[in-house]
Amino acid sequence: MKLMVLVAQLGWMYLGYALPLIVVISLVYAATRHEDLKAIFRHAVGCATWIVGLMVVVGLIMALVSAWL
Amino acid sequence: MASQAEQNPPETIHLKDPALAALLAWLVPGLGHLYQGRTAKGILFLVGILGIFAYGVYLGGDREVGWGRVVYMSFHPEDQRLHFLCQAGVGLSALPAVIQAFRVRSGRAPLWGSFMAPPRLPSDRSSNRPTLDDLHKRLHHYFELGTLYTMIAGLLNILAIYDAWAGPVREEPAEEPKPPSEPEASSGGSQPAASDRPDSKSRPSEQTNPAQTPSA
């Protein structure tokens, strides 16, 4: 049981490596759509929210499927 | 009633020489935009793309085996490093991998503490440099993370190169149907639009629409 908790904690730690990627991908994607910095940042926030939301949805589906199996 | 185009006149972005800008953007992320005078975006691309590339180089190495071991060029049948095709998108930053690959291939020792040097092939017994398996054992998951970071940096720079070449992708506002009584001549006569010029791109000055969400 302790091992499973440790593995789960490590999994959460690994998610931290996604943060810089989400930030940079959102900014670069938004920068290819706009020229104005305010518009870029506004679009990047929406894009990052969308990515995180999708990750949460996929994670929940995976958790449900793994609990069911 | 004034139309949306009249309220927000198109703003022209001078792309100067798009081919040169694209080349510069490939060599150094953001350099093409700096050449075009698009300083803010140039700095954004420079810091963002080179930042995650440098972080990937840092993750994919250590003092013992050398830094940046996740970025290397090898197309030997025993080690087809196709990841390098994506990593090469950052241009000059990946150039040491090319130099190291040619040195190793010609039988010489890698430079700079094996920075971006290809690992020893399993069949090569002529040196004691680490093999790919050794790098995985040494760096664990950081090898994969470093590979991922550097590949994504290269791929993102391709977006930046396209932006330097063609300007930002325009998100067109939804066109409202014109009433039939409105004359066509009110849109500016026979003057050519700024977007018709090959070295410029016009866009609405206000592109942001809070209702717009990024598509996949």
The 10 Å Cβ neighbour count of residue B135 is 22
Chain B's closest residue to A16, CA to CA, is B145
**Residue B197: inside a domain:** no
CA-nearest residue to B13 within chain A is A35
Q: Give a yes or no: residue B19 inside a domain.
A: yes
Q: Return the domain boundaries, chain A.
A: 17-68
Q: Is residue B209 assigned to a domain?
A: no
Check residue A28 and give left, alpha or beta (phi > 0: left; psi -120 to 50: alpha). alpha
Residue B212 lies in a domain: no
Give the dihedral sign, CA A60/A61/A66/A69: positive
Q: Which domain holds residue B108?
A: 14-167
Specify whether the CB–CB gap between B196 and B44 falls below 8 A: no
Q: How far apart (Å, rounded) are the C-alpha atoms in residues A26 and A51?
A: 9
Residue (of B161, B34, B139, B17) closest to B88 by Cα position: B161
- The answer for A 4-43 residues in CB contact with B (under 8 A) is 14, 17, 20-21, 23-25, 27-40, 42-43
Q: Are B154 and B53 in contact (CB under 8 A)?
A: yes
> Per the CB < 8 Å rule, is A33 touching B171?
yes
pLDDT over 60 at A22, yes or no: yes
Number of domains making up chain B? 1
What pLDDT digit, counting tens, does each position of B11-64 carry? 677 888 889 999 999 999 999 999 988 899 999 999 999 999 999 999 988 888
ipTM tops the 0.85 cut: no
pLDDT band at B189 (very low <50, low <70, confident <90, very high): very low
Shortest CB distance from B52 goes to which of A24, A30, A42?
A: A24
- Residues B22 and B165: their CA atoms lie apart, in Å, by 5
